[in-house]
Chain A
Amino acid sequence: MKDGNMTASFFPMATAVIMLIALVCAMVQEVKRKKGMKTEEGTEQESSALFSKSYAGISLGAIGVVLLTAGYLLAFDMIGYIVSTFSYVLLLICLFAGELKKNWVMKLIAAVVITSVGYLLFEVFFQVRLPTLWSQ
């Protein structure tokens, strides 16, 4: 407070205080819930699929998507839309299909189709300029 005016820091501080209280409540609830659930432990589902393992609650599939997307973002400006999108889509399809060996032709065709439809949609239909390999 300053001359009856709130300073810029007041509101964030107020939200932070309420947030902390709410978080403490959430933690207490979670601990209570965990205690009640202890009896049901050991029933976690086991699956033999490729990406079903998890680390600290994050599944390998999700980590894969994040890494691929981060790589895509880096590549997007550098090597242009077409090359980066094609490889991104191809890898994503493999990840979602859960295997790398089967149906290569199908996957390649799908990646080409998605890349070109995206190109048509953005570049031709909405007339936005996408970065290209040769523009740099």
Chain B
Amino acid sequence: MESIYGLLGGFAALTNPETLLYMVGGFLIGTLFGAVPGLTSVLAIALLLPLTYSLDVTTALVACASIFMAGMCSGSITATTINIPGAPSSMMTAMEGYPMQKRGEGAKALGHAALGSMIGGSIGALLLMVISPLAADVALLIRTPGKFSLIAFALIVIIISQRGSITKGMVATLLGVMIATIGIDVVQPMARFTFGSSVLVQGIDMMPLIIGTFAISELLIQADSRSTRTVDTSKIQAANVRRRDFIPPLSEVREIGLIRYLKSALIGYSVGILPGAGGSMAAFVSYAESMRSSKHPERYGKGNPEGIAAAECANNSMCGGAFVPMLTFGIPGDPTTAIVLGVLVINGLQPGPQFMTQQLDLVAPMFASLFVSALILVPLTLYLLGPYFLKIVSIRRDILYSSIAVVALVGSYVATYSTFQMALALVFGVLAYFLRKQSYPTVCLLLGFVLGPSLEEYCRRALSINDGSPMVFLTSLDSLFFIILTGVFFYFMVIRKPKKGGVGEPPV
């Protein structure tokens, strides 16, 4: 009962004009960053991170949630209109949306995408509110050896879900873990890898790492490209769209069916809970399942609203699922929730089993923001801004990226008032640039960095309780469970690779 009041309190918090402003502002920024190819909502949240030092934690979380939700659905704008997904999660939407655009039904395709996003996002947020307290209860059962195995499980699943190369994922993850060992040891008061420098004793902050890997490296990558605008305006046909074109006809919605929406949302939510999967995976799995169960699978790939609905519904529902492991176990599974974890840590909060009950008043507004963003802001933005979308996504690159550079660098300065953090951000930016050039996943680097210290701490604690015998990981039940689970995932994802369902590889 108490938690229901707490959650309702979250909605009440949104009525505070300042919080509301941040939610709407966050949503618009998320829409912009999600829609423009080359920018992602992760970058938007990364740029927001230094500002959270001077923001109220609730407000920051509310903004993060709405950016996350907006970024997931706005990628469909360019995916549909010019066949360039604004975000990787909209790859499947491009496959159905672009053929519809060529038939002159682009606005309707966007309408279907928004409707799917709205339904999926709301269901995901609702499930998050219902399930996370239960998950927190389960999390209480896990003790130290189990925590080690759980984090190891998360890291291994993150590595093996990298579709490029498992070895590269592993190298990137371990690099993250290694960077995290700089500074004071997690168990003993002893400085490691400081090379006699006093600035490194504190360890590496998450903020310069995030700014470096997501903002600075993007600048360096973009410096190679020679086009003057983010989207070539000549590709866009100046179609006159009217607002009511965006509303999908009821008959088509009925054809897609409530069941398909619900199923896609559930798939998206479950994929979200898994570490390392993310929106593109959610959209892909849901799209494949929708095609498998469809009465007319032959229509897929030729502009079928069913596919758009399934993909968009799943990737927005993923947002809700992704928060579950982060809030209840303190284990983020994707870059966005890792940054949200950073926001919490900056404000001295450590998510974990008790977090949900003790700090519900802090996270409830975030849940509410996730829900309201999906249910109200997604359709409203499409309806109000829809006709102007194509003008928005074509931005002069020189101005866009120099603005991002200033916000990223000055942001990392203001967080701690030291140019040392700015320099660190640049160093990590260069590192991430090389990693990305050689297709090492930077997401693994970040998650390794975030999870590394806890992995080490639980490993050493578990061993010291049991006189250094590693058998404890096999003898305690919770730990054994996660080790077996790791084995199961490894079996299905590496040894018996999933069959491709005729729609190609999932987008990276």
| Chain A interface residues toward B at CB < 8 A | 1, 4-6, 8-12, 15-16, 18-19, 22-23, 25-26, 29, 47, 49, 51-52, 57-59, 61-62, 64-66, 69-70, 72-73, 76-77, 81, 85, 88-89, 92-98, 107, 110-111, 114-115, 117-118, 121-122, 126-130
Task: Tell me if B410 and A52 are in contact (CB < 8 A).
Answer: no
User: Could you list 19 A-B pairs, sorted by A, with CB under 8 Å?
Assistant: A5-B464, A6-B468, A11-B459, A12-B178, A15-B177, A22-B167, A26-B165, A69-B429, A76-B409, A85-B406, A85-B410, A92-B405, A96-B401, A98-B226, A98-B228, A107-B398, A114-B399, A114-B402, A114-B403
Q: How far is the CA of A11 from the CA of B414 in the complex (A)?
A: 34
Answer whether residue B202 sits at the interface, using C-beta atoms and an 8 A cutoff: no
> Given that A29-B165, A110-B399 are known contacts, is A8 also in contact with B463, CB under 8 Å in the complex?
no
402-421 of chain B: CB within 8 A of chain A:
402-403, 405-407, 409-411, 413-414, 417, 419
Chain B's nearest CB lies how many Å from the CB of A39? 21
Answer whether residue B289 sits at the interface, using C-beta atoms and an 8 A cutoff: no
Chain B's nearest CB lies how many Å from the CB of A20? 10
Chain B's nearest CB lies how many Å from the CB of A114? 5
From A15, A61, A81, A118, B181 is in contact (CB under 8 Å) with A15
Q: How far is the CA of A49 from the CA of B399 in the complex (A)?
A: 19
Task: Tell me if A130 and B437 are in contact (CB < 8 A).
Answer: no
Answer whether residue B423 sits at the interface, using C-beta atoms and an 8 A cutoff: yes
From B185, B402, B423, A96 is in contact (CB under 8 Å) with B402
Answer whether residue B422 sits at the interface, using C-beta atoms and an 8 A cutoff: yes
Task: Tell me if A64 and B223 are in contact (CB < 8 A).
Answer: yes
Task: Tell me if B406 and A88 are in contact (CB < 8 A).
Answer: yes
> Given that A12-B178, A93-B399 are known contacts, is A6 also in contact with B406, CB under 8 Å in the complex?
no
Task: Tell me if B228 and A97 are in contact (CB < 8 A).
Answer: yes
Instruction: Please indicate the chain B residues that have their CB under 8 angstroms from the CB of A85 in the complex.
Output: 406, 410
| Chain B interface residues toward A at CB < 8 A | 51, 54-55, 165, 167-168, 170-171, 174-175, 177-178, 181, 185, 187-188, 190, 192-193, 216, 219-224, 226, 228, 397-399, 401-403, 405-407, 409-411, 413-414, 417, 419, 422-423, 426, 429-430, 433, 437, 456, 459-460, 463-464, 466-469
From A9, A26, A52, B224 is in contact (CB under 8 Å) with A52
Task: Tell me if A19 and B174 are in contact (CB < 8 A).
Answer: yes
Q: Which residue of A lies closest to B216 (CB)?
A: A69
Q: Is the interface of B mostly helix, strand, loop or mixed?
A: helix
From B219, B456, B466, A11 is in contact (CB under 8 Å) with B456
Task: Tell me if B410 and A1 are in contact (CB < 8 A).
Answer: no
Chain A's nearest CB lies how many Å from the CB of B24? 16
Instruction: Please indicate the chain A residues that have their CB under 8 angstroms from the CB of B467 in the complex.
Output: 4
Task: Tell me if A49 and B405 are in contact (CB < 8 A).
Answer: no
Q: How far is the CA of A121 from the CA of B220 in the complex (A)?
A: 24
Instruction: Please indicate the chain A residues that have their CB under 8 angstroms from the CB of B188 in the complex.
Output: 8
Chain A's nearest CB lies how many Å from the CB of B136? 28
List the 6 closest A-B pairs by CB distance, nearest first: A61-B223, A96-B398, A4-B468, A4-B467, A92-B402, A128-B414
Task: Tell me if B402 and A19 are in contact (CB < 8 A).
Answer: no
Instruction: Please indicate the chain A residues that have their CB under 8 angstroms from the CB of B177 in the complex.
Output: 15
Instruction: Please indicate the chain A residues that have their CB under 8 angstroms from the CB of B168 in the complex.
Output: 26
From B54, B402, B423, A89 is in contact (CB under 8 Å) with B402
